Every structure is written in C-alpha cells, then in structure tokens.
Amino acid sequence: MAMSILKLRNSPALRSVANHARIGVLSRGFSKLSEGTDITSAASGVSLQKARSWDEGVSSNFSTTPLSDIFKGKKVVIFGLPGAYTGVCSQQHVPSYKSHIDKFKAKGIDSIICVSVNDPYTVNGWAEKLDAKDAIEFYGDFDGKFHKSLGLDKDLSVALLGPRSERWSAYVEDGKVKAVNVEEAPSDFKVSGAEVILGQI
C-alpha cells in the first residue's frame, strides 16, 4: 500500500495537478497558455483590432495593433470571452472588471484588456453600451486567430455563435504569463472574474 501511494504521489499527472494548484492556474490540458508562456511568441504574427467606429476604422486605414504594443514592458490583465452582447459576458464578466478598476490600479496594473471574437465595430458599440471604455481597453479578434494560437478557441455553433473562444483571464508581465484561468465551459463564471485574478497579482 505504501509503495502504491508513493507511486501515485510521484506520478506526472498528480504532479501536474499539484503544480496548477500551487500557482493558481486553472486551464484545459490542451491550452497553449500557461504560466511562463510568452504570449507574443505563442501568438506570433497575430494582431488585435482596437474597438472603434466604422468611420474611425476607415480613417485609420483599418489598422491593427501588434501584441507587442499591448504587452511589452507593461503589467496587463487580459480577459477573453465568447462574444459581445451575450448574457454572461455583458451581465457579469465585463462588469466585474469595471467595478474593480481602482483595485487593479492600486496593484500597479497598466491596463485591463477585454478581447472578444467579434469585429472591432461590434465590440465598440457593445463597450459603449456597457459604459466601460474608460476603464477597460476593448479589442476584437475578428477572425479568431489570437484565441486559436493560444489553444483557447471554441466552437459554439450549438448556440448559433460559430467559432468563438473559451471564457478566460490572465495576468501578464512584459509579455510573460504569470497566471491564467479558463472556465470549464464558456457559460460558467467561476474563475475568470476580476476577484480571482486580483488574488493572483
């Protein structure tokens, strides 16, 4: 019996679970995003699209934002969600970060980023409706490449949403992931909210 317990204690699977518990990481086994990941390298060549009106998009020649501009030399909290105007995203996820913005600033966070698998114009209208643009920087991942590069893409065709993303959050310093949390299902809101990530900074 003692030998069996010893073997179990030394098993790779158990060590993995223990390590995740120790560093506060909750993520799916096949997600590429984990503690120590350089998010700019994991999603190399991928850019995001800052939320804006159509006219602003035209005047900017439909410019995009390289990940290095978002993360390098900064302390960033980023959270991703399946889609603008959807229930949990609008009623719980974004409001949790908006209501805790002062606590993030007190911890030295440079920016709070929300990224959704939508075009930047839809994201802009949604952010304005939530009155959250002053507290949170919103970006679109219009083709889902950012989330797919990180292994956080999710097919939500069952909800008539098509290719989307998991619901997740991460604390990133100078491009390096320090903590990451991924919900078991995109409809859940247990580990990706502001209060959890505040405790990991």
Under a CB-based contact definition with an 8 Å cutoff, are residues 136 and 109 in contact? no
Enumerate residues 6+ apart whose C-beta is below 8 A from 162. 155, 156
Distance CA 48, CA 123 (A): 12
CB atoms within 10 A of CB 168: 25
Residue 3 lies in a domain: no
**Model pLDDT, residue 162:** 63
Distance CA 98, CA 117 (A): 20
The pair of three-digit structure tokens given for residue 76, joined into one six-digit string = 């960033």
Distance of CA 159 to the CA centre of its chain: 21
Instruction: Kindly report the average pLDDT of the chain as a whole number.
Output: 82
Integer-rounded Cα radius of gyration of the chain: 18
| Structure confidence by residue, pLDDT tens digits, 142-163 | 999 999 989 897 878 777 676 7
Enumerate residues 6+ apart whose C-beta is below 8 A from 68. 40, 175
Under a CB-based contact definition with an 8 Å cutoff, are residues 118 and 84 in contact? yes
**Model pLDDT, residue 50:** 94
More confident residue, 163 or 107: 107
Residue 62 lies in a domain: yes
Distance of CA 99 to the CA centre of its chain: 18
CATH number of the domain to which 168 belongs: 3.40.30.10
Residue 27 lies in a domain: no
Residues with active-site annotation: 89
3-state secondary structure of 44: coil
Tell me how many domains the chain contains: 1
| Structure confidence by residue, pLDDT tens digits, 173-200 | 999 999 999 998 888 889 999 999 999 9
Per-residue pLDDT band at 111 (split at 50, 70, 90): very high
Residue 13 lies in a domain: no
| Structure confidence by residue, pLDDT tens digits, 64-105 | 999 999 999 999 999 999 888 988 888 889 999 999 999 999
Residue 181 lies in a domain: yes
Dihedral angle, C-alpha 133, 135, 141, 144, nearest 10 ° = -130
Residue 20 lies in a domain: no
Q: Which domain holds residue 43?
A: 37-199
Per-residue pLDDT band at 40 (split at 50, 70, 90): confident
Task: State which amino acid sits at residue 69.
Answer: D
